[in-house]
């Protein structure tokens, strides 16, 4: 049973584009509430290869100075998919980028055609060599009307970051409206960009000639907050989450409440209180403000403890659910209807197993499964989990979990 207080970190998916946005200026960009996660380390190393000086103190990062470098280090870009986020700012700033296909979690096909379509709409030319994409706009970028066939989060962010320094007006239609897109827009606006409509599916950007330095606080991570709420609920615990943003968690809190988690909210706090009568609840992912795909795996473990049958449908990724066979070996009753849909029958008693974390969200789900399983579970490849959750072992331990990181 988890109990106590825990602080939620800054949003992974907000801090990564905000770090990339620092490439848009030579002046100092200070980001606060930066989580101590591996993806931030990898992104910082990428920025460092562009000559940026990076200083880290507690949970803030200061970035200054950028120069042109070709191509971007392949070993670094292969570490995380969000490395693609340097494309927009570098193109806007220097008119040329050479980059290999980005790495990242293997949860689906994850193409990058929307990034290129969007940048082409601003006048960029894209050439593919054997190993790299060469993206250039020798005469500079010019604003345009862009319709994204898929409302990709990082494609929206890339086009937005390229367009802030383009000549004239850009309109992005079918833009992603996630909370992290809004956070990036807020940062860019404070740097002097002219952006309207972030948070809706139509974003307009009026290009400016340069951007300046800024201090910006990264929004709290709504996925981490919900994941910790689920961990508290399945263990029957009571936990106070600090540094959260319940007001903007919309569908996430609605679904967790439907599922029977009892909690109250106050300013930046969410208090989860036992007891929980967990009930089967269907979820269907979509782009924000609908249920986020990144919460599908933690929601699955919640449903293994709920009474009844729930349908979990993730239309976005065809590889998200393959790890659920590991939960089945622990005693969960999950039937895969097809790669996008699972049926979960609960409640099930789980027992410990030796597991391997295949990706960030599935890995964190395994940690929660281990908390309620009888016996001691070992999870390998926790580096996946550390990409997005800061010191999760220490924080869960502070709530009473028996968890230990071994080398």
Residues that bind ligand EPU (CB under 6 A): 12-13, 16, 81-82, 105, 109-115, 150, 152-155, 180, 292-294, 316, 360-361, 388
Closer CB to ligand EPU, residue 280 or residue 287?
287
Please say which residue, 101 or 115, places its beta carbon nearer to ligand EPU: 115
Q: Minimum Å distance from CB 157 to ligand EPU? A: 7
Whichever of 93 and 361 has its CB closer to ligand EPU, that residue is 361
Which residue blocks in 85-240 are alpha helix, DSSP H? 87-94, 113-120, 153-163, 179-190, 222-234
3-class DSSP assignment, residue 113: helix
- Distance between CA 396 and CA 403 in Å, rounded? 7
- 26 classed as catalytic: no
Nearest distance, CB of residue 277 and ligand EPU, angstroms:
29
- In the block, tokens 């999760």 appear at 392
Nearer residue to ligand EPU within complex by CB, 319 or 400: 319
Query: Which of 26, 39, 105, 183 is flagged as catalytic?
Result: 105
Alpha carbons 192 and 204: distance in angstroms, whole number? 14
Question: How many whole angstroms separate alpha carbon 375 and alpha carbon 373?
Answer: 6
Query: Could you give the angle at which helices 222-234 and 12-21 cross, rounded to 10 degrees?
Result: 160
- The separation between CA 288 and the C-alpha centre of its own chain, rounded to angstroms, equals 13
Cα separation, 301 vs 232, in Å, equals: 12
> Toward ligand EPU, which CB reaches closer, 161 or 278?
161
**What are the C-alpha distances in Å from 203 to residues 76, 148, 200?**
31, 11, 7
Q: What is the DSSP string of 311-368?
A: EEE-SS-SSTTTTHHHHHHTT-EEEEEETTEEEEEE----B--EEE--SHHHHHHHHH
Question: Among all residues, which ones are annotated catalytic?
Answer: 105
């Amino acid at each position: 049973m988890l109990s106590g207080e825990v602080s939620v970190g800054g949003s992974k998916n907000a801090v990564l584009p905000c770090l990339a946005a620092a490439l848009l200026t030579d002046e100092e960009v200070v980001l606060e509430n930066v989580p101590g996660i591996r993806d931030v380390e990898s992104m910082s190393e990428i920025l460092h290869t562009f000559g940026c000086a990076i200083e880290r103190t507690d949970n803030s990062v200061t970035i200054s100075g950028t120069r042109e470098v070709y191509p971007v280090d392949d070993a670094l870009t292969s570490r995380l998919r969000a490395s693609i986020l340097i494309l927009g700012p570098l193109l806007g700033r220097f008119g040329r980028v050479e980059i290999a296909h980005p790495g990242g979690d293997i949860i689906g096909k994850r193409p990058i055609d929307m990034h290129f379509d969007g940048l082409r709409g601003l006048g960029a030319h894209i050439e593919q060599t054997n190993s790299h994409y060469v993206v250039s706009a020798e005469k500079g970028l010019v604003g345009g009307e862009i319709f994204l066939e898929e409302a990709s989060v990082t494609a929206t962010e890339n086009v937005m970051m390229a367009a802030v320094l383009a000549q004239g007006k850009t309109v992005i239609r079918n833009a992603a409206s996630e909370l992290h897109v809004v956070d990036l827009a807020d940062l860019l606006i404070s740097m002097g960009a002219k952006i309207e409509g972030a948070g809706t599916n139509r974003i307009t950007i009026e290009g400016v000639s340069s951007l300046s330095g800024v201090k910006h606080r990264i929004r709290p991570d709504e996925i981490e907050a919900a994941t910790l709420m689920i961990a508290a609920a399945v263990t029957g615990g009571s936990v106070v989450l600090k540094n959260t943003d319940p007001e903007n968690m919309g569908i996430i809190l609605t679904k967790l409440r439907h599922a029977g988690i009892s909690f109250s909210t106050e300013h930046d706090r969410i208090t989860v209180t036992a007891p929980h009568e967990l009930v089967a609840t269907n979820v269907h992912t979509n782009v924000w403000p609908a249920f986020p795909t990144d919460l599908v795996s933690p929601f699955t473990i919640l449903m293994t403890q709920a009474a009844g049958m729930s349908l979990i449908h993730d239309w976005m990724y065809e590889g998200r659910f393959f790890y659920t066979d590991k939960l089945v070996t622990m005693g969960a009753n999950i039937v895969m209807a097809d790669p996008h849909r699972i049926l979960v029958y609960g409640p099930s008693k789980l027992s410990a197993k030796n597991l391997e974390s295949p990706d960030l969200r599935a890995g964190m789900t395994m940690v929660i499964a281990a908390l309620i399983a009888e016996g001691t579970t070992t999870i390998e490849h926790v580096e996946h989990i550390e990409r997005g959750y800061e010191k999760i072992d220490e924080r869960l331990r502070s709530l009473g979990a028996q968890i230990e990181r071994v080398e």
